[in-house]
Homo-oligomer: A and B are copies of this chain.
């Protein structure tokens, strides 16, 4: 039912999916940047994916995954996030070390492996970065999460996810002692640089720059 795809095809589909999710629409240039490839290469692959009916695409137009394409994307995301969970919970990786390894593991094709791994991990709903793990039907739990910049003052909230998995972001969070599950409340906002001061229980207040705050999502308690 799910056709055999090359690694390149899988990576295109996954990245198109992520762009669709965050930006709503996708164009050639953005995808090229994201994949570290030239726009000409993107066009080539888009045509292949169209032939395989995984992508709705007309030259010079924006494009999006077909139903079938989205299904495949979700199955890759599922694998990626399950492996990340495994690496952190079972193999004691740091949450900032797992992304690259999971990029490889997500392409292992055995369906049975994924289902058995899921069971072994006891069907987790969120990965170590707070992102939801699709179940075997592609369904995900939605967290009612809010960007840190949108939190009112003096309301307890719990960090639920981070906006991206760059090592640099995760390194900074580690330094500031913030991780998924950390409880904090916003104390002040500084208009000059849009930085935010947050307070974690039993700790000194911490300053969060605007770019960092935008990469942090929390669940009000």
Which residues of chain A have a CB within 8 Å of any CB of chain B?
87, 90-93, 97, 100-101, 104-105, 108-110, 112-113, 116-117, 119-120
**Residue contact A91 to B104, C-beta cutoff 8 Å:** no
Shortest beta-carbon distance from A105 to chain B in Å: 6
Shortest beta-carbon distance from A124 to chain B in Å: 15
Listed A/B pairs (17) with beta-carbon separation below 8 Å: A87-B113, A87-B116, A90-B120, A91-B113, A91-B116, A91-B117, A91-B120, A92-B116, A93-B112, A97-B112, A101-B108, A101-B110, A101-B113, A104-B108, A104-B109, A105-B105, A108-B108
Q: How far is the CA of A110 from the CA of B102 in the complex (A)?
A: 10
Q: Binding site of A, secondary structure by majority: helix, strand, loop or mixed?
A: helix
Specify which chain B residues have a CB less than 8 angstroms from the CB of A120 in the assembled complex: 90-92
Q: How far is the CA of A116 from the CA of B91 in the complex (A)?
A: 6
